[in-house]
Amino acid sequence: MYPGVELIPAGAEHRSALENLLELYIHDFSELVPIDVGDDGRYGYKSLSLYWWDSSHLPFLARLDGKLVGFVLIVRSTEPSGDCEAWDMAEFFVLRRYRHRGIGAEMARKAWLLCRGRWQIRVMEKNVAARRFWESSIAGFTGAPVDSSEFFADGATWYRFTLDSRR
């Protein structure tokens, strides 16, 4: 555990910081999917405004000892089975400098505890590092084997991890 890690709700006053971190996140992701910058030299994140007017979208900035280290974007949605609502880890990012130190696992743990309930985390099959991270983080949080399923969307194979943070 990293006691210095905080998840801070990102208000409109944090929009600029979140936009900048999203650029780094998308840049990292561009190794896996064909994403190009726009004519303004930015990737952009079209649905970012939802996080300030749609109550089912929750934005958080992550800080370690006061320094920005990443972000977590959470969406309340219908569980894939359609049985009930679940939290969805829409986007999750840790700056490269802070990776492989347990900070990301602590960010995930704090998100799961802030938003108690059923969760899904979706990861592209070819994002091997993210799959390993989520398998380890979920197992560490639940103390149980990781539950996952494969699905096909947007021309790619994905893994869906599920957990219940109420236990």
pTM for this one? 0.93
Average pLDDT per run of 10 along the chain, which is 167 residues long? Answer: 88 96 95 92 93 94 97 87 82 97 97 96 95 97 91 92 91
**Please, what is the Cα angle at 63 between 59 and 67, to 5 degrees?**
130
Determine the pLDDT at residue 99: 96
Residue 141 in domain: no
For residue 83 the two structure tokens come to 């049985």
Q: What is the CATH number of the domain that holds 29?
A: 3.40.630.30
Determine the pLDDT at residue 60: 98
Determine the pLDDT at residue 150: 94
Determine the pLDDT at residue 102: 95
Cross-strand pairs, 72: 60, 92
Determine the pLDDT at residue 81: 59
Residue 42 in domain: yes
Q: 64-89: b or e for each residue (b if 16 or more CB lie within 10 Å)?
A: beeebbbbbbbbeeebeeeeeebbbb
Q: From CA 139, how far away is CA 95, in angstroms rounded?
A: 23
Question: How many independent structural domains does the chain possess?
Answer: 1
